[in-house]
Structure 1
Amino acid sequence: MSRTPAPHASPETTDPKGGDPAHADLLERLSRAAAGYYRDLTASAAEQGLTMTQAKVLILLRQPLPMRALAGLLACDASNITGLVDRLEAQGLVSRHPNPTDRRVKNVVATDKGIEAVRLVRAGMRSTSAAFDRLDDEGRRDLYELLGRLHPDDTA
């Protein structure tokens, strides 16, 4: 009886005997988690009369940000930010202020109403909250630390 040698494990697949997850497996899990988060964010934002992108902008505005930096964080062209900020400003959720070190640059700042909108959007994210509730304190600390290690250079 001849034996066929087992194929070498690819970095794209998980060891079927329960070994460490491969990059493809991690990407799949991250993708599913992100999709669930964005479904939840979209639904909660809609309850507040916002689009998912508008909610993302407000969430990113924990501190004043130049419009160009905001475009970079959203991975979109700076020209798209102007219209987005215009609509948020018309709703009283953000305001624009000259940058103190370069008056040519406009910083976008969340207003009190914008900060309250973020609080309401987050409170309405029931599926994501339920997922976090399934973790104990140590699990939440571990997840927080691991997520911070994924993209350590992202400051927003």
Structure 2
Amino acid sequence: MTRRDPLSLEVISSLAEVTGRFIADYDEAAAAHELTGAQARLLALVVTEPRPMSRLAVSMHCEPSNVTGLVDKLERRGLVERRPNPADRRVKLIAPTTEGVHLSGEVWADLDFAAEPLAALAEPERVALRDLLRKINPSTD
């Protein structure tokens, strides 16, 4: 069994703590807008780019049937819609409505935790942190 060096353990512990605090704050911000954390995360994903449900399931690390339920609920609220995929008309893309884009922006604006620690960093430090996080967490989309 390989033991981690103390510095790596400290970094891992700090990342876990930051992640936990972010998820709790994100869920609280979502709840203030009558969304679950999962609904808010799905909405944020489609705001950046309409996606098929299969890609949403991969991005959210869940079963496609879970995504279907989330999309159904968001669609009933008028926050997302199913659109034909121009590249493959058999596939539906999940896209935000104007109201969905607005509500997603409100949820992100309400994330107190996310803004608080980053405010303590100068812009070059935030750029360096972003770049380091990109390096250890390449996009899976």
For this structure pair, what is the TM-score category when the shorter chain's length is used for normalisation? Answer: over 0.9
* Per-residue deviation, residues 2-56 of structure 1 (Å, max 9, x unmatched): xxxxxxxx74231xxxxxx22x332211111111111110111111111100010
> 1:41 maps to what in 2?
26
How far apart, in 1, do the equivalents of 2:81 and 2:49 lie? 12
How far apart, in 1, do the equivalents of 2:37 and 2:134 lie? 23
How far apart, in 2, do the equivalents of 1:151 and 1:30 lie? 12
How far apart, in 2, do the equivalents of 1:123 and 1:153 lie? 24
- Contact 1:12 1:25 (8 Å CA) reproduced: no
Q: Are residue 89 (structure 1) and residue 67 (structure 2) matched? A: no
**Paired residue type of 2:57:** A
> 1:51 maps to what in 2?
36
Q: Are residue 154 (structure 1) and residue 120 (structure 2) matched? A: no
- Identify the range of structure 1 (47-56 vs 26-35) with the bigger mean alpha-carbon deviation: 26-35
Displacement, 1:140?
0.9
- Contact 1:66 1:107 (8 Å CA) reproduced: yes
Q: Are residue 143 (structure 1) and residue 129 (structure 2) matched? A: yes
> 2:4 maps to what in 1?
12
> 1:4 maps to what in 2?
none
- Contact 1:57 1:70 (8 Å CA) reproduced: yes
Gaps of 5+ in 1: 1-9, 15-20
Displacement, 1:126?
1.0
How far apart, in 2, do the equivalents of 1:75 and 1:128 lie? 22
How far apart, in 2, do the equivalents of 1:150 and 1:97 lie? 34
Q: Work out the number of aligned pairs and report it.
A: 139
Deviating above 6 A after TM superposition, structure 1's stretches of 4 or more consecutive aligned residues are: none
| Percent identical residues | 34
Q: Which has the higher contact order (CA 8 A, sep 6+)?
A: 2
Structure 2 counterpart of 1:32, from 8, 14, 17: 17
Q: What TM-score results when the alignment is normalised by the length of structure 2? A: 0.92
Comparing both structures, which one devotes a greater share of its residues to strand?
2
Gaps of 5+ in 2: none
Displacement, 1:154?
2.4
**Paired residue type of 2:37:** M
Structure 2 counterpart of 1:103, from 89, 94, 99: 89
**Paired residue type of 1:90:** R
